[in-house]
A = this chain, B = another copy of it.
Amino acid sequence: MKDETLQTLVPLTHAEEPVVRQAIEAKGWREKLDDDDRAVLALRNFIFDICNQNGGGHGGSAIGMAAIGVALYKHTMRFNPSDPEWFDRDRFVLSNGHAAMFLYALNHLVGYDAWTMDEIRGYGSPKADGYTTICHAHPEIEDPAIEVSTGPLGQGIANAVGLAIASKNMAARFNRPGFDVVRSRVYCMTGDGCLMEGVALEAISLAGNLGLDNLVLIYDNNQVTCDGPLDWINVEDVNAKMRACGWHVLEVADGSYDVQALVSALQHAKALTGKPVFVNVGTVIGLGASCAGTAKAHHGVFDAESVALSKRLAGQDPLTTHWIPPASLEYFRERKQHGQKLQSEWQAQLDRYQSAHPDLAKEFQRRRAGDNGQEWRKALETMDSAAFRHKATREVNGDVMETLWKTHPALFGGGADLVNSNKVPYQETDVFHPSVGFSGRFVRYGIREHAMAAVSNGVAAYSPGTFLPFTATFFMFYLYAAPGVRMGALSHLPVIHCATHDSFAEGQNGPTHQPVELDSLYRAMPNLTYMRPCDGEEVVGAWLLALSKTTGPSLLSLGRDPVGPVPNTDRFKVAKGAYVVADVENPRLTLASCGTNLHYAVAAAESLSAAGIATRVVSAPSLEHFDAQDGAYRESVFPLDGTPVVSVEEYVATTWARYATASIGMTGYGYSASNASNYARFRLDEKGIEARVREYLKQLNGGDARRAGWRAI
C-alpha cells in the first residue's frame, strides 16, 4: 500500500484540500501514507478521543509518542495479547505514567481482552459514586498487561532496571547452549520529567554499572514540561550524560512519525551488547493539535478543529469517535496470532529443554510458579535461640539471611554500600555483576537508596514469587528510599527491607542519622508491615511473617548494638503484634515498648514492681499485626480498666496513642553520643522511665488513666 497517495485515502472537498496539505507540510508528514503511518494516525486519533471524551488527561505526550508505540507494539516487542502473564514476554514500562492512555490504547489495539472499548471510555470518567474502571489516570499493576504502577516520576525507570536485572538473572541461571528459555527484554518510556528525578539518575547509573544490555530506555524528547519549555529547567547534553553513565546511545530525529526509523533503532539496540541502550527520540507533544509543541499540550482537551483534520488525514469521519479504521485495527490485531506463535515456540523449546535439562527445567518451573518450598520455614522455626543471646538484632538478622541464602531460592538483593554495617552476609562469588556473570543473587546497589527500593519493586514485579528481593541500609536512609517503599506497598510487591541502626542508639553519628519520626511514616503506610523486634528470637519471628507475606513489603527495624535481656520473647508470638513478656499479679501499670528500648522498660518494671507498683511489660514488635487481633485479645494486652498503659520508645509517639494512656518518647532530634549516654540524656533508660512513670502516677493521683486522656510524659 506504499504507493497510495493521500488523495485516494482521504476524500477531501475542494475547499479542504489546501488546508490539509498545509497541515501535512507543517507537520512534516509524508505525502504517501503507508500502513505504519496510518496506524500512527489511528492511534493518535484514538488518543484524541480518549482525552476529549471526559474533558482531559495527559494526552500530549501520548500523541507525540504514537509512532514509538507502533514501532514497539507492532514491530519490536515480544508479547502475547492472549496471555498477558506469559513468562518470557518483553516487559514494557511507561515511566511517564501520566501518559497512561498511550498504554491503554495500545493494549486495546493489539487485542488484550481486558482492554475493551468500554473500559477505554471509562478513562477520566469515574466521577459517579461506585463507578469503576481499569482505565485509571496512571497505570496500575493490578490491571492486565500493566507491568508496574507508574506515576511518581522517575521510579518507572528504576522499576525497569529491576525487571532487566530479574530477566538477566533468570537467563544466566537457566539458559543453556541451544536453549534461550529466558529472552525477555525490557522497554521503558521516559519523558523529560523522569530524567530529572534523582531516583531515575541513580537507576540509570546502576544500570550502566551493571551493563544491563537487555534494557532499552526510550526518551520521548519533546522539549516541553508542565510549566513551559524544557530549557527553562534543563539544558543538559542528555546523550553525553547517558554515555558517561555507561549506556549506548541511539537517536531518532523524527520520532513523531518515522516508524521505520524507530524500528531500525530498536532492532539495532538488540544487537548492541554490554550496555543498556538509550534511544533519544525527537517528538512533538500534542502533534496535530493547535497547541502542539507547547506546555498547553501537556494536559487538557484538544481543539475540535485539529482533531477533525487529523481524522480526515486518516480517512476517518471527524464526527465519529472511538472508531479505529478497520485496516489499522487489523494491522494491530495481527499481533494476537503473532504472540500466540511466539509463546508456542517458547513452549516447544521448553519441552525440549525439559528433556535436555530435566533438573534445571524443574527448578525453572518452580521459580516461574513462585514455589519456593517450605525449607526456609523449617529452618527459621528451628533456629536455636541460644545462638542469638547477646547479639544485636542486626547481627541475628545476618544469621537469618545466612540461613535463607541456603533455603529460600527466590531471595535476591543487596545493600546501599553499608552491608558490612548492616551485617548482610554474602559470597563474593554470588554477586550479580558483569565481571562475574549475572547468575549471582547479591546486588551491590551503591549509594542509591531510593533506586534500591524502586529497583527491588521491579525485581519483584517480574513475575509473582519468582524473586523475593531484599534491601539493606540504615533505617534513617529509608527516608531517601521511602517513595520506593511506598510504591511497593501500593503495588502489593513483596520486598523485605532490612533497616539497621534504628533510633538514636546507632553509634553516635548524630541527629542526621538518628530517626525519631520515621516510624510514624512506616507505621501509617498501608500494606507496609513495619516490625521492630527486640531480640534475636523476635527477629526470626519477624522474618517468618515477612516471608509469609506475598502481597506487599515488610520493613524490619533493627538495632546496631546488643542490649539487655527481655524475658519470654517468642518468635511465634510476633504474629500477634504485641504480647505480654512480663506479667504480674494485680497489675497497676502496663509498660509497652519494642526494639532496643524494651529491655529498659523491663528493668524499669522490675524496679517499680519491687517498689510496690506491680508493673507488667508488653513487647509490641508490630502494631499492624496487633490491630488485626480480636477485641478480647487486644484488651488482654492493653487493659481498658483505667490502669495506666505507658508506651516507651526512642521515637516521637504518634501511633502509640491508640493503645497507651501516656507515652515516653522523643520530642526533638537525637544527639551525637554513645547509646548509653543518649538513653540517659533523653531519659529513656531504666532510670528515666521509672522517674517519668512515677511523676505520671503522681499526676493521676489514683484516677482513671483513660479518663485523664493521653499525654506525653
Contacts and interface: CB of A to CB of B under 8 A. Distances in A.
Interface of A: 97-98, 124, 126-131, 136-138, 140, 149-154, 192-194, 196-202, 205, 208-209, 225-227, 232-241, 243-246, 415, 417-421, 433, 444-451, 476-477, 479-480, 482-483, 486-487, 490, 508-513, 516-518, 520-521, 523-527, 635, 638, 640, 642, 651-652, 654-655, 657-659, 666-669, 671-674, 676-677, 680-681, 704, 706-710
Contact of A205 (B196, B450, B669, B704): B196
A666 B527 CA distance: 12
A709 B707 CA distance: 9
A226 B524 contact: no
Nearest to A513: B151
A570 B704 CA distance: 35
A2 to B, nearest CB: 40
B127 A673 contact: yes
Contact of A127 (B658, B674, B709): B674
B226 A417 contact: yes
Contacts of A138: 509-510, 512-513, 672
Given A418-B227, A510-B138, A677-B129, A524 B480 contact: no
**Copies per complex of this chain:** 2
A136 B669 CA distance: 14
Contacts of A421: 226
Given A241-B245, A490-B512, A226 B520 contact: no
Contacts of A445: 233
Nearest to A681: B129
B477 A480 contact: no
A243 to B, nearest CB: 7
Contacts of A137: 508-510, 672
A659 B150 CA distance: 37
Contact of A240 (B198, B240, B672): B240
A200 B201 CA distance: 10
Q: Which 7 A-B pairs have the closest CB atoms?
A: A198-B198, A151-B512, A233-B446, A520-B524, A240-B244, A241-B244, A657-B657
8 contacts: A131-B673, A136-B510, A137-B672, A150-B512, A198-B450, A225-B447, A227-B417, A236-B245
Contacts of A479: 482-483, 486
A671 B192 CA distance: 26
Contact of A654 (B518, B638, B654): B654
Contacts of A193: 417, 447
A209 B235 contact: yes
Nearest to A196: B447
Q: Is the interface of A mostly helix, strand, loop or mixed?
A: loop
Contact of A233 (B128, B140, B444): B444
Contacts of A450: 198
A208 B196 contact: no
Contacts of A238: 244
Nearest to A198: B198
B509 A151 contact: yes
A418 B58 CA distance: 14
Contact of A447 (B233, B667, B676, B710): B233
Contacts of A209: 233-236
Given A138-B672, A151-B512, 12 more contacts: A127-B677, A129-B676, A130-B681, A151-B510, A197-B449, A226-B420, A227-B417, A232-B444, A239-B244, A244-B244, A521-B524, A706-B706
A652 B512 contact: no
A244 B233 contact: no
A476 B487 CA distance: 12
A526 B511 CA distance: 11
A244 B237 CA distance: 5
Contacts of A194: 447
A197 B208 contact: no
Contacts of A707: 640, 642, 704, 706-707
A136 to B, nearest CB: 4
Contacts of A197: 198, 202, 447-449, 480
Nearest to A655: B654
Contacts of A709: 635, 638, 640, 659, 706
Contacts of A234: 205, 209, 446
A334 B671 CA distance: 34
Nearest to A242: B244
Nearest to A485: B479
A138 B517 CA distance: 20
A153 B704 contact: no
Contacts of A420: 226-227
A200 to B, nearest CB: 8
A687 B250 CA distance: 57
Nearest to A639: B709
Contacts of A483: 479-480
A62 to B, nearest CB: 15
A509 B681 CA distance: 46
Given A202-B196, A513-B152, A709-B638, A677 B232 contact: no
Contacts of A97: 512
A676 B521 CA distance: 27
A486 B136 CA distance: 33
